[in-house]
Amino acid sequence: MSNDPVLITGSAGFIGYHLAAELLNQGRRVVGFDNFNDYYDPALKEARNARLETSPNFTCVRGDLADFDRVKEVFDTFAFADVVHLAAQAGVRYSLTHPFAYVQANLAGFVNILEAVRHSNCSRLLYASSSSVYGGNTKLPFAESDRVDNPISLYAATKKANELIAHSYSHLYGITTIGFRFFTVYGPWGRPDMAMWIFADKISKGIPIPVFNHGDMRRDFTYVDDVIQGLVNALNATDLKKYDLFNLGNHQSEKLLDLIELIEQSIGKKAILDLQPIQPGDVPATFADVDHARELLGYAPATPISVGVPKFIDWFNDYHAKQ
């Protein structure tokens, strides 16, 4: 690995925090960029960042990716070997009510990063796409070669737009851009807006949990350590194409009700189910074909939900006990 620092945008976010921690553990210098917004509790982001700042090899930069002057200032200050762009406005349902947040963060912010990269000596850009780009596809498992031109949420559309914009920059300017379609990532230090946290919180408190599509949902739940392995392997790879896309999932499509049962077992309380119809923007099933990542990145997801869920609940209980 290069001695030059790596930039991680969204370093106070869930995946960004874990990637930064792993690279610091490997001796890399890391610059984190985050705006610490209030989409979910900023205290959680501050807690993640505080852990990273215990390393002398970590520098935190606070700023908004939609502010190009701030982005350019960071690139002018540091000579980045690699950029991992994980910052985004997340959430399918939130995009139904806050569309402009997605335009600013996921479109304007993404172009700002690409412009900064192309005017620097950075060797490549890794960036977060999403399994949501598969939209209304019904063929399972989802493969990178599948058509993804039918997004069913604005969030998904912005992520597909990222892939298209990255392709144009690779073609025009020779930038190496590698996108990752994440599949329902969970684990310690996870996000409070995601089902795993919501279910754990409400089950613990004896509050009914919303279960959409009357429970007939399947998701490819992917433990965060497996995703980080894929990202680190991509950073270490020397023979990737100028432009490529990879699914990072667990290659298992799990029933939502099975997940809830595991959370019940780990917490020691039964859930009260509030069965509801499927929500706008939701898809009934996700399932990642990870053969491409196995072949080129040596990606090998190894954490079933029977192992990952108890680990998350252990962290969840410990985190709340300290609040």
37 to each of 66, 88, 118, 167, how far by Cα in Å? 13, 11, 27, 29
Give bridge partners of residue 180 from the DSSP assignment: 128, 246
Digit-coded pLDDT (tens) for 114-136: 999 999 989 799 999 999 999 98
Digit-coded pLDDT (tens) for 61-70: 999 999 999 9
Distance, in Å, from the CA atom of 187 to the CA atom of 16, rounded to the nearest integer, reads: 13
297: number of CA atoms within 13 Å, CB side? 26
Statement: the pTM of the whole predicted model exceeds 0.85: yes
Residue 1 scores a pLDDT above 60: no
Q: Which residues are catalytic?
A: 155
Digit-coded pLDDT (tens) for 171-223: 999 999 999 999 999 999 999 999 999 999 999 999 999 998 888 899 999 99
Digit-coded pLDDT (tens) for 76-86: 999 998 999 99
Provide CB contacts within 8 A for 69, sequence distance 6+. none
Q: Look at residue 91 in the predicted model and tell me its pLDDT.
A: 86
